[in-house]
Amino acid sequence: MTLVAGVDSSTQSCKVVVLDAETGKLVRGGRAGHPDGTEVHPDHWWQALSEAFDDAGGLADVSALSVGGQQHGMVLLDHAGNVVRPALLWNDTRSAAAAAALTDEVGADDFARRTGLVPVASFTITKIRWVRDHEPDLADRVAAVALPHDWLTWRLRGYGPAASSPLGPDLDQLTTDRSDASGTGYWSPSSGDYDLELFKLAFGRDAREATGNAGPGDSGTVILPRVLSPGEAAGEIHPVCFGSPAELPGAAGSGTLASGPRILLGAGAGDNAAAALGLGAKVGDVVVSVGTSGTVFSVASQAVADPSGTVAGFADASGEYLPIAVTLNAARVLSSVAGILGVDFDELSRLALEAEPGAGGVVLVPYFEGERTPNLPHAKASFHGLSIASSTRSNLARAAIEGMLCGLSGGLDSLRAQGSPATRLLLIGGAVQNPAVQAIAAQVFDLPVVVPSPGEYVARGAAVQAAWTHCGNRPAWPVAVDAAPAPDFHPEIQQNYLRASRHIDPGD
């Protein structure tokens, strides 16, 4: 049996899965935690990766591995391969003013045309502008800018600071993939190239793409990771990449890698693109992920450029495109209303299923944390349509689930408005195991709904990429399905929601 491994280095934790390359069956897995915060030194990710490998029983029998990672995080390196400052993560908002400034300088239409994006604080380009403006001494030291999965892949290959890596600080060995590059704000999904003029506008210095060969030395030009094609190998894991002794964590007792088989490294991917690979998503599939926030993304055959910024026109990890819309309010809508009603999630589900579709006219517009889709950062949540007769616990419970799903449906409407095809909806995330969420999704979305079994789909997608790199073609592993609720579309649910949302106070 040939084994491949996938890594999900997310904001909260590092997860590793080891799968059968032929069938995709899970053999074993491991995990380790990351520190909290919106800026984190990458060394914490490196340590967590080591611990997760140990927890997964090591890699001595693995043939290929790939890393999926949180998007947009800014990793700055100096010429000696040292991290210049803690990485600013996607959820660090200090660069909001930088995002506005870049949009003003370039124009939203031009930015969207060139990169598929309109700057917001999450994107890397806004973070490098912030460093330029607020930490100029550190900015002067920067020799390369990478993303979290780029840095981990580089370190796994044996590169890094001379004192702690076998191959030293060869910055021209930095690699990335098209999905993660497309979240920087200075790479074009349409052309497949970096927009070096935008990088210079943001950071004030020239940049170039890494060559994969020994670099020309200190020229003052910032190096950006070389963008690999789907299925292309980044290299191999170096047997001493975690330092002495010459074996990877977890390999003790099962053989050292110094004399064992080579472990290929795939290109890696951004987290949403890796999840799409893990789900086997194809053109026309829409993935709705219900977590703390909500994401709605589809696989499309054409690049998307939305000057409103509602839809981010990312590339995917298979050669297609991955337009995405994000809502700030998702699973926490359910926990908030469950708290108001004094019930747990099981009771919330039971109550919601007691009510009729439309919740007797009760509508929750769930902007508890403001909202990003639509862009109403200062708005608040509100119930509408309450009367003596309609103000029941069951109607309030159902209105919570309908409101959350209608908010996500707005993201789907935005994707469709940009021309993205939508033929099937894959519903993932912890909250979708709630029976009422599954049933009501079939009433809110005018698409066939499928609920895949719970799983680590980002790590699984990275393992798909590892198998692709090892075998030469993308595997077609089956995806287990927990539920496929019968289509039961009730257009009045969305109609009532849209009427109520038109009256929302945008706030200060």
CA dihedral 152, 154, 156, 162 (to 10 degrees): -110
Q: Which tokens belong to 273?
A: 């693109």
d(CA 324, CA 330): 15
d(CA 262, CA 181): 27
Name the DSSP letter for residue 503: T
pLDDT for the residue 258: 40
Q: Is 342 exposed, middle or buried (0-12, 13-18, 19+ CB in 10 A)?
A: exposed
d(CA 302, CA 17): 32
C-alpha angle 83-87-90 in degrees, rounded to nearest 5:
155
Say which residues have a Cβ less than 8 Å from residue 502's Cβ, sequence separation at least 6: none
d(CA 225, CA 153): 11
pLDDT for the residue 220: 86
What pLDDT tens digit does each residue of the chain (508 aa) get? 999 999 999 999 999 999 999 999 999 999 999 999 999 999 999 999 999 999 999 999 999 999 999 999 999 999 999 999 999 999 899 999 999 999 999 999 999 999 999 999 999 999 999 999 999 999 999 999 999 999 999 999 999 998 889 999 999 999 999 999 999 999 999 999 999 999 999 999 999 999 988 655 557 899 999 999 999 999 999 987 654 333 344 443 332 344 456 899 999 999 999 999 999 999 999 999 998 889 999 999 999 999 999 999 999 999 999 999 999 899 999 999 999 999 999 999 999 999 999 999 999 999 998 998 888 888 999 999 999 999 999 999 999 999 999 999 999 999 999 999 999 999 999 899 999 999 999 999 999 999 999 999 999 999 999 999 999 999 999 999 999 999 999 999 999 999 999 988 787 6
Q: Find out whether 454 and 433 touch, Cβ atoms under 8 Å.
A: yes
pLDDT for the residue 311: 96
Q: 134: how many CB neighbours lie within 10 A of its CB?
A: 12
Q: What 3-state DSSP class applies to 49?
A: helix
Q: Which helix (DSSP H) or strand (DSSP E) does residue 208 occupy?
A: strand 207-209
d(CA 14, CA 29): 11
Q: Find out whether 397 and 426 touch, Cβ atoms under 8 Å.
A: no
DSSP string, 185-206: SSEETTTTEE-HHHHHHHHSS-
Residue 271 annotated to the active site:
yes
pLDDT for the residue 299: 96
Q: Find out whether 106 and 201 touch, Cβ atoms under 8 Å.
A: yes
Question: Tell me, what amino acid is at 203?
Answer: F
pLDDT for the residue 216: 57
Helices (H) and strands (E) in the chain, counts: 15, 26
Q: Which of 180, 271, 285, 306 is catalytic?
A: 271
d(CA 429, CA 214): 43
pLDDT for the residue 508: 60
